Every structure is written in C-alpha cells, then in structure tokens.
Structure 1
Amino acid sequence: MADLQDLKEITGETTEAVEVAVEDRKPVVDELGRTYATGKRKDAVARVWIKPGTGTITVNGRDQEVYFARPTLRLVVGQPFDVTERVGQYDVVCTVKGGGLSGQAGAVKHGISKALQLAEPELRGVLKAAGFLTRDARVVERKKFGRAKARRSFQFSKR
C-alpha cells in the first residue's frame, strides 16, 4: 500500500471520505465562548479555560508574572501561543494543583495546547509536531525499602 489510491482499491471507498474525516473536527466552545482542557505534568494538574481576548494569563486568581516569578516558567507557559502564532489573541484562566512550580508550568502548557487544539482544530498538526499534546509521563521514582532513596544505597562501612 503506497498511497490513498491503494486504500481505495482495498476498501472500495473514495479518497474524499478519508480526507473529510480529517477536516470534520469542529471547535468545542461552551455558551460563554470558552474552551476547556485539562493539562498534566508530574504531580501537577491544571484546569485551563481559554477564550478570545487580549492575551492575559491568570493562574489561581493571580497574574502569570506573580505566580510564575521565574522567566523560564513564563516562557514555558507561552510556548503554545508562540508556536501557533496566536500571541495576544486568547485570554487564559487556569487553576493548578499539586507538584512544584516547574511541573505546574508544564501542566498549564499542556492544558493550553489541548484547549487551543479544541478551539481551532486546524492547529492540531502544529501543536502535535511540537510535542505539546503529548502528556509527559515521567514522574518521580518511588523510594525502595533497604535503600536511602529510590536508587541510592546506604553508605557502606567496612568496620
């Protein structure tokens, strides 16, 4: 099978049916004009609502500059807008729980990416290529018994 024509011969369907399925996605917007998504990273979970606006980002009732004091964390949160060239076009309101600030910033980024993809389905390819729609499954390894930490042994004493 080299292309869609071969698929047509196998299934007996036309190629238009396959192409329409990709473009069939519709924006998911509630009655207030918002799009909702949940983002996760490490132990942090972010509930994100986006709506067309001026580009303000509010995290747990505080401005982004106050909540994420480090510039690198603010850069992480803004990455989905930079990649899709939508800077300043959406207002973001999110609540985030669990984890540390780095995990929370990653969770907000994941939530914004998912919400953007739901608001504008044609952005899915760009966000997926950048790797923003994939949930980063890396979490802290648990501590094992007989060990000081997850992998570190207790200090060896010869005498």
Structure 2
Amino acid sequence: MADLSSLADLQATIPAGPVHERKVDSFGRAYATGKRKNAIARVWLKPGSGKITVNGRELPVYFARPVLRMIINQPFQTAQVEGQFDVVCTVTGGGLSGQAGAVRHGISRALTFFDPALRPALKAGGFLTRDPRVVERKKYGKHKARRSTQFSKR
C-alpha cells in the first residue's frame, strides 16, 4: 500500500501537460516560421514600438489592402499586446493572401516563444494551427485537378 501512495506523490509532482519555455536569442528576439498555402514567413519579434517590416518594406506598403493588415494584427489584439513588439519578417511564395496568413501564423508562434503565458489566448483564437488547405494537384487524364474531358456522344 505504501508503494501506491508514493506513486501518487510522484504523479502529483509531474506536470500534467507539456511545459512551454521562453525561446529568445542573444539579441532578445523570438524567431518563428509561419506557413499558409505555399507561402512561408520567417518572423523575428522583439520588444519595441509596434513597427512591422515585411521584406524590407513597411506593412502598409507591402500589404496595401486593409483586410490583409487586419489579419496580421489579429494575434496582437487577441493577446492584448498591440504596439509592444517590433516585427521583422521575410515572406516568400504564394500570393498576398497566403503571405498575410503565413505572417499571422509566424507572429502567433513567435509571441508564444517570447511569452508562453500568451499561448492559451492564441490557441483559443486558432492562430497556432497551420491552415492545412493547399491547392489540389492535377491528375493525369484530367484537364485540371478534377475537371474531366468534355463528353461527346458521337
């Protein structure tokens, strides 16, 4: 019976879920990679005034559409840390919509690396999940991924 109580004590000391640690480099930056469709974004996050730079250009210059800028700012609003971090990111591949989604994914992951306490809010918002939807490949014998040849009766 003593073995069972010591086993219960041992299980009580082990944390229930995974422990998330702070991951910051020597410059005080958190790095993360975000992906969406065919776009890949490399994101560096550091404390600052809220300046976001994408491929060497300011956010409003690179993402001219307000909807794309709103998508990128969603993780900051959810975590309630707007204007507290500077973001430098390089993004390649895909179109502007996919790139905005990749940057959002990268910012969300970098925020959790910088401050693990923000993880529950970002996880509940669905920002840490990579959107798995990608373009379907073309199959042989088809015009496109699913489009068949036109039926001819004669």
Structure 1 residues 10 and 108: alpha-carbon distance in aligned structure 2, compared to 1, 3 A threshold: farther
Offset at residue 146 of structure 1 (A): 1.3
Distance apart, 1:133 and its partner CA: 0.7
Partner of 1:3: none
- Paired AA for residue 36 in structure 1: Y
Tell me: CA distance 1:112–1:146, structure 2 relative to 1, closer, same or farther (3 Å): same
CA distance in 1: counterparts of 2:6 and 2:133, whole angstroms: 41
Structure 1: runs of 5+ lacking an equivalent: 1-7
Is 1:149 equivalent to 2:144 in the alignment?
Answer: yes
Distance 2:34 2:6 in 1: 39
TM-score normalised by length of structure 1: 0.87
Root-mean-square deviation (CA, aligned residues, Å) is: 1.9
Is the partner of 1:73 in helix, strand or coil?
helix
Rounded to whole Å, the distance in 1 between the matches of 2:7 and 2:146 is: 53
Specify the SS of the correspondent of 1:95. strand
Match of 2:52 in 1: 57
* 2:12 pairs with 1:15: yes
Which residue number in structure 1 is paired with residue 26 of structure 2?
31
User: Among 97, 101, 106, which residue is 2:101 paired with?
Assistant: 106
Cα offset for 1:26?
3.4
How far residue 30 of structure 1 moved from its aligned partner, in angstroms, is 1.2
CA distance in 2, matches of 1:83, 1:58: 20
In structure 2, the residue matched to 1:70 is: 65
Number of equivalenced pairs:
150
Per-residue CA shift, 1:101-137, capped at 9, x if unaligned? 1111010000000000000000111111111111111
The aligned counterpart of 2:135 is 140
**Deviation at 1:156?**
2.3
Runs of 4+ deviating beyond 4 Å: 8-11
Residue in structure 1 matched with residue 80 of structure 2 by the alignment: 85
In structure 2, stretches of 5+ residues that fail to align are none
Q: Distance in 2 between matches of 1:75 and 1:34?
A: 23
What TM-score, normalized to structure 2? Answer: 0.89
Q: Deviations over 1:6-56 (max 9, x none)?
A: xx969422535426x76x543211111111000011111100000001101
1-structure distance, mates of 2:61, 2:7: 56
Identity of aligned residues (%): 61
